[in-house]
Each structure stands twice: as structure tokens, then as C-alpha cells.
A and B are shown apart, each in its own frame.
Chain A
Amino acid sequence: MPSYVARRLAYSIPVLLIASFLLFAFVRATFDPTARLRASRDPHAIQRERARLGLDKPIVVQYKDWLVKFTHGDWGQSSRTHDRVAPMVRGALWNTIQLIFWGILVSAVVAIAIGIYSAVRQYSLGDYAFTSLSFIGLAMPPFWFGLIAIQFLAAGPRNWFHLTNPPFFFVGLHSVDASGVVDYARHLVLPVLTLTVQIIASWSRYERASMLDAMSGDYVRAARAKGLSSWGVIFKHAFRNALIPLVTVMALDIGLLFGGLVITEQIFSIPGMGKLFIDSLIQGDANVLVVWTVVTAAFVIGFNLLADVAYGALDPRIRYA
């Protein structure tokens, strides 16, 4: 197992290098970090900035300079904010992790519960209802659902019931002059809800299909024939096997989420990885974007690896070579 993990990690290094170089070259080719200086009346401002950022050097040299510094622990400076890149990414990642953690926790619990219920009670009224709701959930884009949630769960209730403040907040993760778990929770509800709607809809469908597949297996029939209780069969035998395909999907989805929740973070003014990416992309801030790529890719690779490891835990027949 350790050699398997080490080999997988070694394979990921060229992937990270290629991905970071492609993004670096793409950003340099398409976005001009000196563009905002066009508003300056000073005709030499752009030339000075190009020289400072080394933009006159060939792209490969620029990338090599960045890579050498990166491998020595210097993640560079943002051309947009003049801030160090490491603390910028760290701060954004922490905000995104908070959203992802609660979003995934809620999504996994709800989606698995719905999936199991729908499979066990296939073609029941409840199954039809959850199926319909999941299709509605899949069809709801976050930018629309987020604003609807704000209107009907925050701004609307405040006006309808003449409250001083809305029941749930939707600007950032903390109130001004307030802190504590309750304030934090009131800020989290709407972005987490916006994040989870599509995920629950998607994962619950996977779980339902996997459970139906597992429950039609011979080993489940054998367990039933031995006289095991219905719930015992479902949770000890069918559910464990049904988790394997869902784990694959979850691992991919979660890894990608670390790249940021662009729309959700924008609507709820949360300075996470998605917002950092957009702000940096618009101003051609290659140093930040390349680090963003490496961090995101690392999470995707890490979660894929985690999924592979989880297969072994869920199915003892799986061995690593």
C-alpha cells in the first residue's frame, strides 16, 4: 500500500508541472497584467511595469524563474495586490474549506439517506417525490438558486415579519461587531444550501442506482435467505457495496470543489478560492493563478488517491499492487 501511494504521488508531479506551465502560458498569452495602467495618464507607466514583472522575457524563462522560486518555498508576489501569494491562497483556501466541509457533510448525509430510501421504497410515492425533486435540484443553477434563497429565506422574511435583521445572513461569514457559533451558522446556511442543492440531487441519484444494483445481487438474496433482518441486509451488505461508485463520484466532485465555488462565493461575498481565481484571472495575475492551479490539482489528485484507498476499505477483495 505505501509503495502504491508513493507511486501515485510520483506520477502526479509531471501532471502538476504540465498543468501549471499550460496555465502560466495561457494567462500570459491572453491577459495583460499591465492593462489597468491604461487608465494612467502617464505614458511610461506600462513600460515600467512590464520591466518590473519581467514580461519582456520569453515565456519559458518567466516560467522557469517562477518554478525555481516555487521549489525553494517562495511562492512569489501577486502582480495585482503586491501581496505574497502564499498567505493569499491560504486565506482563500480556508474560507472555501469551511464551505466545502459543511456542504459535503450535509450533502453526503442527505443524499445517502434519500438514495437508500428511494431504493428500498422503489416506485413509492416518496421515491417519485425525491426523484422529481432531484431533477428540479439538478436544473437549478447556483446563481439563480442563491438569489432566490436570499429573497425567500433572508430579505423576504425580514420584510414580511418586520424583523430588525434577516433570519439568515448573506454577506460574508461573520457580522460586523458580532461573532460566535450562532452568527457563523446564520451566515453559513444560505451558501451551504446553495452549494448542496445540486450535489444532493446528483449524489442521491447515484446512491439510489447503486443501492438498487446491490440489492439485486446474489449475496443480498443469500443474506435474506439466511433470515437476516431487512435493515441488517440493507446496511451490512447492500449499502457497503453501493458506496463504492458513490465514493468515486464524491472524490472527484470534492477535489474539484477546492478550486472554488465561483458563483456561490460571489453571491455571498465569501473571499474563497473561486473569487481569488476570478479576480486574478481578470487582471492576468499569473503568479497567483499558477499556485491556485497547483493547489487545486493537488486536491484533485489527493482525493482521487483517497477514493482508491477507500475502495479497499469498502471492498476487502480489492488489493493494491
Chain B
Amino acid sequence: MRHVRRSSPLLVVLLALSLVAAACGGGGKKSSTSGSSNAPNGGTLVVGAEQEPDCMDWIGSCSGSSWGYWIANVETTPHAYNVVKKGSSWGYEPSNLITGEADLKTSPQQVVTYHINPQAKWSDGQPITAHDFKYMWDQIANGSDIYDATGYKNIQSVDDSNASAPVVTFKTPYADWKSLFGGQYGIMPSHLLEGKDRDAETANGYTWSGGPWMMPPGGWQKGSQLTLVPNPNYWGTKPKLDKIVYKFITDTSAEFQAFKANQTMVIYPQPQPDAVDQIKAGVPGVNQYFTDQTGNLEALWFNNGKAPFDDVKVRQAWGYAVDRAAVVNRLFGPLGVKTPMNTINPTILKDYADPTAWAKYTLDVNKVSQLMTSAGWAKGADGIWAKNGQKFTAEIRSTTGNKRRELTEQILQQQLQAAGFQLTINNAKAGDLFGSILPKGDYQVALYAQVLTSFSPTNCAIMCASNIPNAGNKFSGQNWGRINVPQLTDLYTKVDTELDEAARMADNKKADPIAADNDVALPIDPLPNILLWSKKIAGPVGDNPIMGPFWNSNLWGLNK
């Protein structure tokens, strides 16, 4: 016993010394850009990142993190096409990986020939070749642990006999072919990965690069930060900064405080009430950019296969019972975003959308009464609609802990009560909601967002009858709303396979009013993007709704 007592202080001192040693180890829309492209050289930029990627095997099942794509994938892997702003619209543009638009042959089979920029090379100096394209296709189409093989499964072969001109032949047409060999994946170096376990080589980070930035050894300190340094062999515009450090700060309040206290110089927060309130209160001396031009669509998604929303008149009545403009104004008014979405397509796909399809659905209690009465409902003495002795009560499901959605639900609850509908709120964890409740159809109405991962409408996935989940397909379809409108299925199927872009746009546009007439879902808002950055940062800073705000960070600099 005495021995123990005497040694305790020594133990404490030793532990203290070891810890000290550890210490020594290591709306109101504003301008979308700041400064000129003549940004100064040097300096370290610290960015506050709200999420940390789970892994960096971009094609593996552990990928899928938006932040991972924005802060590491886009910067270190070459993409055949970028999504860029063209005038007031967004669209694909060939990147500097290829010399120009790829050659597209549409008959008898879809064949795409890319022409690789002869200057394009990996960070180790090896050229980027057609074999890298073939390796990516093989890994994605034939791999066993793949996040999303869409599009690559349509490919019949990749001919790499000409090292600078991969020829991609499709078994079945794939309209969004520009998202392939780029998009959410990028291209990986076959000379370093072929014959090895790709996931093991990349999941915890990698030091090769085919983009302007690269990860130094140990650059990803998990849970803490990710460091990128310039790729000395990048063939495009080399980064001006010495280093970018992404600090992972997952608490919104702490994220804003860190930004205000100069611990970070850029933040890209989700449009949660906390963030909107912080902006409303004022963040002095910084550049701010808010935009409703996003790839997001937050909507009320009705279960079209379950009462009471299996009746189109009830769905339409809800369209007239909800004051969507009031909801949007309450959520995002301080950002200057006040108009509800009137299409089922995200705002950046405006060329594919009819932006007025849902415009008729504004608050109108008379129309609510007409529709409900014609559907056999009658208002009781308590002002609530009833049918066959049963009061109208619906349950809304959304993600637990999402303050914006909880606030939206409360507003909807009040508005619907005033129109004679009882709404109860029963939220669930995101994993349960998206993993089980929605696929199995155990809900009446749900509030969540659809987010684009490529610059293309993906409405067939969520609205074609063939994608309704059921026991037969092991609940794997994504038409969770059980939408079964033959005209929509026909049009959206065409949109997925049509190779004439103008025809795709026209067909997708044509579908919008049909979806609105059936009120298959009720679009609410575009989930605006928010970007705040220090005035010390020079260069073309701005949001890219698909590739994220850091996609051109090689052009940024820091003023002294």
C-alpha cells in the first residue's frame, strides 16, 4: 500500500510530461467573387469544414460525403468535365484533362471518344492515359464494394489502344455520359493502383494527385484536419497558396465563432436556423454569398400509395392549404430567398424545368374546401375534415435533430390546422428514415431534400413506376413516394436515355406540369447555399452548386 501511495505522484508527473510532449507534436445576395485573379502567392488558408469524409476511396461504399468530394476529390482527381456557370445557367464544360468536347456518336451504339490533353500527368510525372479510363470503368462496373455504378454499367467496353484517346462504347444509351470519368468520382492512376487493393490504398488518403492540389504524407489527420499542398506537376494553373487546411468543425455555433475569431477564413455552413440567425445578427468585415441556385430541392413528399394521399384531390388540397411562400420567407428571408420552388427540379437545372408548374398552389381555403368536399370529406364542428366518421389526421416524418426541418414542420402544422387538417410530427433518425421507413413506405408524408450529384435530372429514379420499392426488389428502388403516373414514367424514362440534350430538356420540362397536376409532391425551397469568407482572400471565390466552393481554389490567394 505504501508503495502505491509513493508512486502515485511519480505516475502523475510522468503522465503529465507525456501529455506535455504530446503538445509539442503536432438572399441578400452579395458578390460571388472577391478580388481579382491576380492573387498574391504564399500563405496558409484555413477553412472550417462542417463534415469530415468517412474515407477517400471515392468509388467505394464508404464514400458519398459531399464534403469529401468538395475538399479532396475535386482538388486531387482529374475529371473529364467540370460543371461551370455559363452566363446565367450552369452546365458541363470540358476540363483541361481533355483537349475539347469529346466526340459523341449516337448510332448504331453510343460511342464517346475523349482526347486527352498531352500535358496531363499525375503528380509523379506519369502521363494520364486511356488505360486510366479503362481502369476506372473496370473498377466501378465490376467491383464488389462500389458506392454507385450508375452509367458505368451501361458501358460495353473501353478501348485504350490509343493511349491518348480512350473510346467508350455503351451497351445501352446513357444520357448523362458527361458525368462519367469525372462527376462524383474523378479518375484514379492505374499505374499505381492496378493489381492492388484500391480501397486499402486510398481509403485513408493518398499522396498521388491529378489535380492542382495533393495530400502530403499524413495530410489527413482524422477527426482534426486535412491539409492540401500544391501538386508540383499540375499542368494547369498552379495554386498560389502554400497550403490549404480544412479544419473539421461540426458544431454550427462553434463554426461561426471560429470564423469570427479568425481561426478559420472560409465557412460553407448548411442553411440551418442557427446559421441564418448568425448571419442575420451580422458577421462584420467579411464577404458573404447566398444563393438559391443550388442542386437541392426540399419538398413535402407524399406517399402516393397510402391513404389519405393516394387520393389526388387530397394532395391538391394540401397544395392550396400550405402557404409555401410564408414558410420559405420564415426560413430563409434573411438570406433574400423568399420564393418557393415551383418545379420538381433543382434551380440549377432551370433549362430542364418548367419554373411555374406548381405556381398555382398558393394559399386558397376555398379551393381546399372544393377539393375536399368533392373527395367526400366534410368539416366537423371542430373545423377538422372528416370522412366516414374518421377525422383527417396525417403524420409527417423527417430527420430527428434537423432544426430547420423541425421548424418547417411546426409552421406546416399551424397552417394545415387552420385549413382543417390535423398533422402530427413523428421524426426519426436519418438512418432509419432513409434506410427503412421511406423505402418500405411506412409513412404518409415526409419532409426531406433531394440533392443532385451530377448535372442532370434524375427524376426517373424517384418518380418512375419501375423504381417503386417493394419486397420483390428488396426495397431497393428510390421512388419512395410510390408515384405511379404512366405519363411521367414514359417521359422520365426517355430523359434518362435520350442523347439529344435539347430533346431531354423538352421532355423533362413537359413532365413538370403533369407532376404538378397530380401534385405528386409539394416543392418548398431550394436549400440555399451560404458561403462566408475573409476579405483577406483574393481571387474568384464563389459557389459551385455541384463541385463545391473550393473547386477553383488554385486561383485563390491571401492578401497580407
The smallest beta-carbon distance between A75 and chain B, in angstroms, is 16
Rounded to whole angstroms, the CA-CA distance of A185 and B288 in the bound complex is 33
* Contacts A155-B257, A176-B247, A185-B23; A42 near B224 (Cβ below 8 A): no
The smallest beta-carbon distance between A257 and chain B, in angstroms, is 15
Rounded to whole angstroms, the CA-CA distance of A294 and B493 in the bound complex is 51
What chain A residues lie within 8 Å of B10 (beta carbons)?
none
What chain A residues lie within 8 Å of B150 (beta carbons)?
40-42
Rounded to whole angstroms, the CA-CA distance of A174 and B25 in the bound complex is 9
**For B64, B261, B477, which residue has the most chain A Cβ atoms within 10 angstroms?**
B261
Rounded to whole angstroms, the CA-CA distance of A176 and B23 in the bound complex is 13
What chain A residues lie within 8 Å of B249 (beta carbons)?
171, 269
The smallest beta-carbon distance between B472 and chain A, in angstroms, is 12
CB atoms of B147 and A45 under 8 A apart: yes
A31 at the interface (CB under 8 A from B): yes
CB atoms of A271 and B224 under 8 A apart: yes
Interface string of A142-186 (1 = CB under 8 A from B): 000011001100110011000011100111111011011101110
The smallest beta-carbon distance between B439 and chain A, in angstroms, is 7
Which of B12, B223, B262, B431 is in CB contact (< 8 Å) with A284? B431
**For A105, A171, A176, A312, which residue has the most chain B Cβ atoms within 10 angstroms?**
A171
A52 at the interface (CB under 8 A from B): yes
Rounded to whole angstroms, the CA-CA distance of A101 and B473 in the bound complex is 53
| Chain B residue at smallest Cβ distance from A79 | B62
What chain A residues lie within 8 Å of B393 (beta carbons)?
none
CB atoms of B55 and A312 under 8 A apart: no
A291 at the interface (CB under 8 A from B): no
| Chain A residue at smallest Cβ distance from B431 | A35
What chain A residues lie within 8 Å of B260 (beta carbons)?
155, 159
Stretch of A61-69, A80-88, A226-234 at the chain-chain interface = A80-88
A-B contact count (CB 8 A): 204
What chain A residues lie within 8 Å of B46 (beta carbons)?
176
What chain A residues lie within 8 Å of B64 (beta carbons)?
36-37, 39-40
B395 at the interface (CB under 8 A from A): no
* Contacts A35-B431, A49-B145; A313 near B5 (Cβ below 8 A): yes
Instruction: Scan residues 456-509 of chain B and give those whose CB is less than 8 A from a CB of chain A.
Output: 458, 461, 467, 473-474, 476-478
Which of B24, B57, B431, B467 is in CB contact (< 8 Å) with A282? B431
Interface string of B1-30 (1 = CB under 8 A from A): 100110000001001100110111110000
CB atoms of A184 and B1 under 8 A apart: no
What chain B residues lie within 8 Å of A179 (beta carbons)?
23-26
Rounded to whole angstroms, the CA-CA distance of A39 and B458 in the bound complex is 12
A217 at the interface (CB under 8 A from B): no
Interface string of B329-354 (1 = CB under 8 A from A): 00000000000000000000000000
* Contacts A38-B434, A52-B61; A98 near B19 (Cβ below 8 A): yes
CB atoms of B223 and A271 under 8 A apart: yes
The smallest beta-carbon distance between A228 and chain B, in angstroms, is 22
CB atoms of B264 and A171 under 8 A apart: yes
CB atoms of B247 and A166 under 8 A apart: no
Which of A44, A80, A180, A184 is in CB contact (< 8 Å) with B476? A44
B222 at the interface (CB under 8 A from A): yes
| Chain B residue at smallest Cβ distance from A40 | B148
What chain B residues lie within 8 Å of A81 (beta carbons)?
54-55, 62, 203-204, 222
A46 at the interface (CB under 8 A from B): yes
CB atoms of A169 and B19 under 8 A apart: no
What chain B residues lie within 8 Å of A94 (beta carbons)?
22
What chain B residues lie within 8 Å of A245 (beta carbons)?
none
CB atoms of B26 and A171 under 8 A apart: no
Count of residues in A whose CB is under 8 Å from the partner chain? 74
CB atoms of A39 and B451 under 8 A apart: yes
| Chain A residue at smallest Cβ distance from B5 | A313
B199 at the interface (CB under 8 A from A): yes
A102 at the interface (CB under 8 A from B): yes
What chain A residues lie within 8 Å of B257 (beta carbons)?
147, 150-151, 154-155, 170
What chain B residues lie within 8 Å of A165 (beta carbons)?
261-263
CB atoms of A82 and B4 under 8 A apart: no
A241 at the interface (CB under 8 A from B): no
Which of A32, A48, A176 is in CB contact (< 8 Å) with B245? A176
What chain B residues lie within 8 Å of A49 (beta carbons)?
61, 145
The smallest beta-carbon distance between A247 and chain B, in angstroms, is 12
* Contacts A102-B19, A155-B260; A34 near B223 (Cβ below 8 A): no
| Chain B residue at smallest Cβ distance from A309 | B4
The smallest beta-carbon distance between A175 and chain B, in angstroms, is 8
CB atoms of A82 and B57 under 8 A apart: yes
CB atoms of A313 and B4 under 8 A apart: yes
CB atoms of B149 and A44 under 8 A apart: yes
Interface string of B35-64 (1 = CB under 8 A from A): 000000000101010000011010011101
Rounded to whole angstroms, the CA-CA distance of A309 and B2 in the bound complex is 12
A268 at the interface (CB under 8 A from B): yes
The smallest beta-carbon distance between B260 and chain A, in angstroms, is 5
Interface string of A80-121 (1 = CB under 8 A from B): 111100001001101100100110010000000000000000
| Chain A residue at smallest Cβ distance from B176 | A41
Sample 11 A-B pairs with CB under 8 A, ordered by A number. A42-B146, A48-B146, A52-B144, A81-B204, A82-B55, A83-B204, A166-B263, A172-B247, A179-B23, A271-B224, A284-B431
Closest 10 CB pairs between A and B? A271-B223, A184-B23, A35-B435, A32-B435, A35-B431, A40-B148, A82-B203, A155-B261, A41-B150, A38-B434
Binding site for A on B (CB under 8 A): 1, 4-5, 12, 15-16, 19-20, 22-26, 44, 46, 48, 54-55, 57, 60-62, 64, 144-150, 153, 199-200, 203-204, 222-225, 245, 247-251, 253-254, 257-258, 260-264, 429-432, 434-436, 438-439, 451, 453, 458, 461, 467, 473-474, 476-478
9 extra A-B contacts, CB within 8 A, seeds A48-B61, A52-B144, A170-B254: A35-B431, A42-B153, A43-B467, A48-B144, A49-B145, A88-B222, A154-B257, A171-B264, A269-B224
